[in-house]
Structure formats: C-alpha cells, structure tokens
Structure 1
C-alpha cells in the first residue's frame, strides 16, 4: 500500500500497532486508521453474526 501507514490489532496484547511488528498469528489487519484497528474485534464479531444469520436463512430454504 505504498507509503501509507497501516494499523494492525494485536489480539495477544489488545494494542494497536503501527506497521506490522508482531507475529502475524496475533494480528488482525491491516487497517487504514487507528480507529478501525481499535474496532477490529467488534467488526469481526458483527460480520460473523451477519454471516451466521445468512447461513441460517440459506439452510431454512
């Protein structure tokens, strides 16, 4: 992504990192802003709930 800063959410520490400094096994991202990275777990949870609902609707057809 060129010279743009990228932000990563570290699931082990709960901290946002600028640039990928930790092991990829503990990182979510990249995100374009610090705020997006801070909301990583909430965003993932929301997407999972939506996908689960879609799956349930598909199965009931």
Structure 2
C-alpha cells in the first residue's frame, strides 16, 4: 500500500483529453501519460485528436523535415 497517493497536477478550469478513456476532463483526472492538454476550453479539448492529426500532417509536409 502506498504511503502517499499521487494526484494528477492541474487546475480547475484547465481542460484535458484523456487518451485512455477517450473523454474530456476538467482538472485532470488521469495521469499525464494518458492525456493531452491543457486546453483553454472544453471544446478545444474535445478536438484534441483532430488537432493532433492536423499538426502531424503539417509536420509531414514541411519541407524543412523531409529527408530526401
């Protein structure tokens, strides 16, 4: 049994997207390795996966990162 319970760091009003449970959380509720954020609004957190896909695509298409 652990002497101290570790709680996720964060503040109320910060929004996160939990990758493990695939839900938006306020506060954070899950560990850092399982979440994306913080985001300023619940809506932004809800679009976390879409934002990540768009940024990954931009990175793939960036000529500065192409190894030809």
- TM-score in same-fold range (> 0.5): yes
Whole-Å separation in 1 of the counterparts to 2:17 and 2:24: 5
Q: What corresponds to 2:28 in structure 1?
A: 20
Within a 5 Å distance, the mapping from 1:1-61 to structure 2 comes to 5-54=13-62, 57-58=63-64, 59=66
TM-score (norm 2): 0.74
Structure of greater Rg: 2
RMSD (CA atoms): 2.0
Deviations 1:9-44 (A, max 9, x none): 000111000011211111000000000000000000
Paired with 1:17 and 1:4, the residues of 2 have a C-alpha distance of: 10
Q: Indicate conservation of the 8 Å contact 2:12/2:27, yes or no.
A: no
Matched positions, count: 57
Instruction: Name the SS of the counterpart of 2:25 in structure 1.
Output: strand
Distance change (3 Å), C-alpha of 1:26 and 1:60: closer
